[in-house]
Structures are given as structure tokens and as C-alpha cells.
Amino acid sequence: MKARKQRPIRLVGFLIWSEMALFGPTDRHLFAERDTGVNPENLLAAYFASSTVGVCLLDSDLRYLAINETMAGMSGRSASDHIGKTVREIMGEAGEVTETEFRRALLAGHPVGNIEISIALPTRKEASHWIKHYFPIKDESGAVHRIAVVVVDVTEQKKLQQVFTGGAGKLRQGMDRLQLLTDVSAILAANWSPQQSFSRISARIRRVLRHEYAGFELHDLKTSLLVRQAEDFPLRKNRLSNVPVSSLESPGGRALQQGEALIFSKNDIVDFKTEITANLLAEGLCSLCCVPMVRPCGPIGVLVLGSTRQDAFQPDDIPLLNLVASHLALAVENHRTAAELEVLEQRIAEERHYLEGEIKASTPIEDIVGDSPELKKVLSKVRTVASTDATVLILGETGTGKELIARAIHLLGRQKDAAFVKLNCAAIPTGLLESELFGHEKGAFTGAISQKIGRMELADGGTLFLDEVGEIPLELQPKLLRFLQDREFERLGSNHTIRVNLRLIAATNRDLVRSMALHEFRSDLFYRLSVFPIHLPALRERREDIPLLVRYFVRKFAARMGRHIESIPSETMKVLTEWWWPGNIRELENLMERSVIMSEHGSLRVPLSELHSETGSGFEQSLDGAERKHILRVLRECHGIISGPDGASRRLGVKRTTLQSRMRRLHITRDDYSNPDRK
């Protein structure tokens, strides 16, 4: 094994310094100890992980603290095998010289670069050739306790160089080709778009291979066509093709299918009988060399070179062109990654804006209309729980304002400046609810054509409001339970765990206790959700708030419609106050909107007949009649007992005073429920 300093090679220098410009001593996302998922940071990590630069971090005892997959692959062992082991344990006897270099860099305390070594590793049959850079890392006191090592594997370049050591001419040719690779890398580094820089790359290759035509095509998996991305043909007479695509039954397609570089003579080109080959022959081309552009996932396209000379391309040219095609393929992948990152960031911003809604204009708690004791108790609970991060379960009939209370909790809490993301579990089809809640990866199921960020991630740092939580399917409930327990989850189609910090508020109009008894809702999930339950009273239980709500809605809709409402008849207000309101505040709001539309001459006109119409087969004459019949039946079953554990109020789920108030309104006397013959 030997170690010597070598003049900087521009390719190596560019790769190392461009990587180090973005990778500092505190950035760990390139290393093995952190498992990243798919988001903007992860796309950047994937980009650097796909490069040819190896990186590791050693402590003062020369034990591996971290290592990326590229570096681990150079030594022939997995990244996890390195952690905690010394350089000598990994590299065997070959580590002796390396350790000496490391300790010299630790003592010097300043970076040392461009150290080329030839090393025989115990896991490899042949020697490897590396160029190393050492970067001592100082702590706050200025002492060096760690060293970062950046390594570029130049084994392939070495092999290419050795091919041309047979004579002075071959040596010069080898240096030219090595310089070609350096220049191609520099061109691609200066402009990540291979389409824009291809003409310069072709001009640089032309100095070595003397070709007249160059182009590259990418394989479209959907159409199985090769789509031309760029061409360089300065001496062409006509346009090669009106359609910039070719089939796999072409010279480039055959090289792509076989996965290896192929050289075609003029007779071979004639045999294809395609439009593109006919045009190339018409331009006077007599030989082609087609080289697949390969990435770890497989060939993604093909580099095509053409010449007017017979036998212009030789097998000795293949290693060089393979490296050029590899650099071009990496540039294409990087360009795609950057484009995907930009699209992903834009889509996340759009989804976040859409899901957050107009939160800043949400109604604060002081603007919630009502002054009844029942509402005051609810608002007192809201103020109590808002300052905590506790999970809240809001219970109540439909139309009682559960979302309004959830927003009030959010606006009064520590998360008020973050997102308020809501999801109606009853409005999403069962098969899509898991994806909507947790997100999914591309290809996770049929129709998943792109990655989707779930509501959980969008609400990170803020509040997630799950309306109609009682409608969540039983099979999805364990995943929600796990999130409530651990604050972590996985997207559909991914095994990467995502942790978020959010506040969960749930709401339902279902009787979850009954659902648990019917095994439709998990009891452990119920207890996790109901850390702090808030029960919203029905509108009929806070009748003193009805006049306030009527006036509020009338003013609201009159201003919106440009109507002038001066008065509300007292008879109308009395009927509205005594109505049962099965739809609660939502029903009242809709009725007031219709009333404002119908009103003329400054007086509110309410279609009171709608309140007394029949509502279904379960009612005999009106809702009042149905309510009266139900209360009488329960009173008779309870033998006339109103309060207490065996009383009717307990059976009906209301307070004693509320039941007595309803009995007076419905004209229910003791004789009515004491005499079974009366109705």
C-alpha cells in the first residue's frame, strides 16, 4: 500500500468542495445513524447519497461515529458494521498507514487534502484507489476531538489510466480522456440541466472521438418510447425528425434493452428501417455508438454518438463513454430530483393554505352568541382546557356548534398562530380516510400517482380537528389509537415512522358509549379521546339564548342581502323560543336566512308553518307531540319518579329542572302519567 500527495484533479476537487459546502459538521442527514423519509430534506439527502463521494466521522480513538452508504460500500461492509469500530478493525493491516494519516491530521488541526492512496482491503480482491481529504473538527474550546474524512473512489479512473500506459501515445490519450471526464463533470456541475449543457459536453467529447452527431434520449415508461432531449449536429443539412421520439426498435432502444453499449456499422443501421435511422443515413452517418445511461434503478436513457467515418468507434472507447453516460445519467437524476422538490414544496404550501382556511378571521370566544348558564359552563371549560395540550372530545347533537367551540379552543391555546386543520370523518369515503388522515406514498395503492401529505403532517405544530370521529371505521381505529399513544405514524405504503407534535380535538354527535357496547367503537380509543370531554347543550336546553341568536342571524343576513329589518314580532319570537329545534343552531340559522329573504317592509316574516309540519313516520302530529309521548312513556316506566338514580330525568339524560320545564311546556300533569289510559 502506498500514500502520496497528488496534484488536485478538477473533478475530484469540484465534487468534494461542492459536497462540503452543503455538508457541515452539524449536518447528519447523509449518515447511517439517521433514517430519513420522503420530504424536502429527504430528497436532498437522496441526492447526496447518490454521489460518488464517501464521508465518515471518526472520534479521537479513530472509531467510526457515522458513515454514509457510499463510504461503507468502498470498504465492502455495511454502514452499521462500521459504527463503534476502529479503522484498523475495519481495514485490517491496510489501516496502519491510514491511521497514521488520521493522527497527523488530528495533531495538525487543519484540513489536509488531495491525499491519494492505493489500498488493499480484506474484503476486496484487488487494490482500491482513493483520494482523501481530512477535516479536523474543533469543539468550542478549540480542541480537536473528531475528524471528518471525505473520500473519492478513483479506482475506475485508475483502471482507465492504466489501459493507456503501454506507450507515450496511449498515455497521452489516457490523460486526454481523463481530462474529458473532469471537464464533463465541471460542465454538468455548472448547469444541472443536461439539456442546456449537452452541446458543450458533445463539443468536449468531439476533441477525443471526432464524432459529427451526438444526442441523448430518455425512456418514457408510460409509452415505452425514447424521447429525444437534446442534439448536437453542427453540420446537418435537414431536421432529423419531425417527431422527437423513437421506438425501442432503434439502435438506442436495442442498447437500452440489452443494458450495454453497442456499436453499429452502416449495414446495421440500414437494417432498422426507422425514420430516425433513415435520416441519419441521409446525413451521411456510417457508424453509431449507443451507450445506456444507467442509474441504480436501471437504464433511464441512452447516449448516441454518430460519425461519417466507418469504424469510428472501437471497443476501447466503451469504458470512457460508459463514464460519460454515467455522469449524464446522474445529472438527469439530479435535475429530476430538484424539479420534484420544487413541485413538492409548492404542493405542500398549496395544501397547507387550503386546509388551514381563513383561520386568522375565526371567531374568538368572546363573539360566541349566548348568555345562558349552560353556555357559560361550556365556555368556562373551553378557557380551562385551552391553555393545555390535552385531547378534547366535544359531544353534542348535530348543529350545536362543535366546530366553533373547537376553533375557540385553538385560538385560546398555545397553537393559535399555527394551523387549524379539520377533517370530517363522515365526509370521506371509508377507503380513502386512512390516506386523507395519514397520507400515502406514490404507488401505495391503485390511483396513488404521487405522494400525498396527510392531515396529521399538515397540522404539525398546530391543531387537528376530527369532526364526526364516531364514523371512523373499526379497522382504522387502532392506527389512530397508536398515534394518540406515541404521537407517531407511518404513511400508507411506507415503513418510515413520522413524529408530529399537534393538539387533537375530536367531535361527534353519536352515542359513543352505545357504540362501544355494540363493538362499533374501541373503548381504549374512546378513553384516549375523552381526556377532557365537553358536552354542548342542545338549543332547546338554552332557550334564553334563542332571542339573542335570532337577532344576531337577522343582522348578519340582512347586512349581506342589503335588507332593512326593523322589528321582529313578539308572537314570532315566542314561537321561536318554544320550538323544539331538532336541528339546533344550524336549523335556526337556516330558518333566519329564509326569513330575511322573504321579509319586506322592515318586519321579519318567519314561515312558522314549517315548524309545525310533520317530520316523519316516527312522529304522530308534530315534534312536540312526539316528545310529549316519549316523556310520558318514560315517566310511566319510572312509576312517576322524576329525579334520582331511578328517575325519568336520568333515563332521558337531562337535568331534573330541564325535564320539569319540558313537562310544563308540553302540559304534562301527574294525571297524564299516573293514568295509563290517558295519552
More confident residue, 462 or 337: 462
Mean pLDDT of 485-498: 88
Quickly state the pLDDT bin for 31 (edges 50, 70, 90). Answer: very low
The stretch 393-420 carries a mean pLDDT of 91
Domain chopping of the chain, boundaries: 2-153, 191-335, 359-535, 539-605, 623-674
What pLDDT is stored for residue 494 in this prediction? Answer: 84
Average pLDDT of the residues of the chain:
81
**Cell numbers 495538525: residue:** 108
Report pLDDT for 678: 54
For the chain, how many residues are written?
679
Q: Which of 137-141, 172-176, 178-182, 555-559 has the lowest mean pLDDT?
A: 172-176
Question: What topology does CATH give the domain 2-153?
Answer: Beta-Lactamase (3.30.450)
- What nine digits make up the cell of 612? 309545525
pLDDT score recorded for residue 353: 54
What is the band of 406 on the pLDDT scale with cuts at 50, 70, 90?
Answer: very high
Residue 552, Cβ neighbours under 10 Å: how many?
17
Mean pLDDT across 395-424: 91
Homologous superfamily, domain 359-535: P-loop containing nucleotide triphosphate hydrolases (3.40.50.300)
pLDDT at 351 over 80: no
| 668 or 170, which is more confident | 668
Contact 69, 49 (CB under 8 A): yes
Q: Which grid coordinates are listed for 65?
A: 461515529
Fold of 539-605: Helicase, Ruva Protein; domain 3 (1.10.8)
pLDDT over threshold 50, residue 24: no
Which DSSP category does 362 fall into?
P
Cβ neighbours, 10 Å, residue 380: 10
Is 167:173 a contact under the CB 8 Å cutoff? no
Nearest to residue 30, comparing CAs of 176, 148, 185, 127? 148
Model pLDDT, residue 358: 41
In terms of Cα–Cα distance, which of 538, 575, 516 is closest to 658? 538
The one-letter amino acid code at 287 reads S
Tell whether the model's pLDDT for residue 635 goes beyond 80: yes
- Of the given ranges (4-13, 124-133, 204-213), which has the lowest mean pLDDT? 4-13
Q: What pLDDT is recorded for position 472?
A: 92
Q: 505 or 249, which is more confident?
A: 505
Query: Does the structure show a pLDDT above 60 at 258?
Result: yes
- pLDDT, residue 400, reads 92
Q: Residues 537-578: pLDDT tens digits?
A: 999 999 999 999 999 999 999 999 988 888 888 888 988 998
pLDDT at 391: 94
- Using one digit for the tens of pLDDT, what is the confidence trace for 41-100? 454 355 446 566 888 889 988 899 988 888 888 888 888 899 999 988 888 887 787 788
Residue closest to 397 by CA, chosen among 630, 520, 580, 522: 580
C-alpha separations of 18 from 75, 190, 413, 421 in Å:
23, 11, 44, 40
Q: What is the pLDDT of residue 14?
A: 38
For residue 113, pLDDT beyond 90: no
Is the pLDDT assigned to residue 609 strictly greater than 50? yes
Q: Shortest CA distance to 507 belongs to which of 430, 388, 428, 396? A: 396
Q: Is the pLDDT of residue 337 over 60?
A: yes
pLDDT of residue 593: 93
- Average pLDDT in the 621-642 region? 78
Contact, 505 vs 468, CB < 8 A?
no
Q: What is the pLDDT confidence band of residue 292, given thresholds at 50, 70 and 90? A: very high
CATH number of 191-335: 3.30.450.40
Give the phi and the psi of residue 344 in degrees, each rounded to 5.
-60, -45
- Please tell me the distance from the alpha carbon of residue 618 to that of residue 546, in angstroms, as a whole number: 26
pLDDT for the residue 45 = 54
Tally Cβ neighbours within 10 Å of residue 431.
9
Residue 365 amino acid letter: I
Q: Output the nine-digit C-alpha cell for 246.
A: 423513437
Asked if domains 2-153 and 191-335 share a fold, the reply is yes
Q: Kindly report the number of other CB atoms within 10 A of residue 344's CB atom.
A: 17
Give the per-residue pLDDT at 642: 87
pLDDT in tens, 202-233: 988 988 888 899 999 998 887 888 888 888 88
Residue 291 near residue 318, CB atoms below 8 Å: yes
Q: Model confidence at 617, in pLDDT bands (50, 70, 90)?
A: very low
446: left (phi over 0), alpha (psi -120 to 50) or beta: beta
Contact 419, 352 (CB under 8 A): yes
Residue 524 C-alpha cell reads as: 381504549
Give the pLDDT confidence of 432-479 residue by residue, as tens digits: 888 889 988 887 777 777 788 889 888 999 999 999 999 999 999 999
pLDDT band at 615 (very low <50, low <70, confident <90, very high): very low
**pLDDT interval class at 381 (50, 70, 90):** very high
Per DSSP, the residues of 210-227 read --SEEEEEEEETTTTEEE
pTM across the whole model = 0.45
Structure confidence at residue 192 as a pLDDT band (50, 70, 90):
low
- Contact present, 498 and 489 (Cβ < 8 Å): yes
User: Around Cβ 451, how many Cβ atoms within 10 Å?
Assistant: 20
Q: What is the rounded CA–CA span in Å between residue 507 and residue 394?
A: 4
Separation CA 158–CA 358 (nearest Å): 62
CA distances from 308 to 236, 251, 271, 292, 643 (A): 11, 16, 18, 22, 104
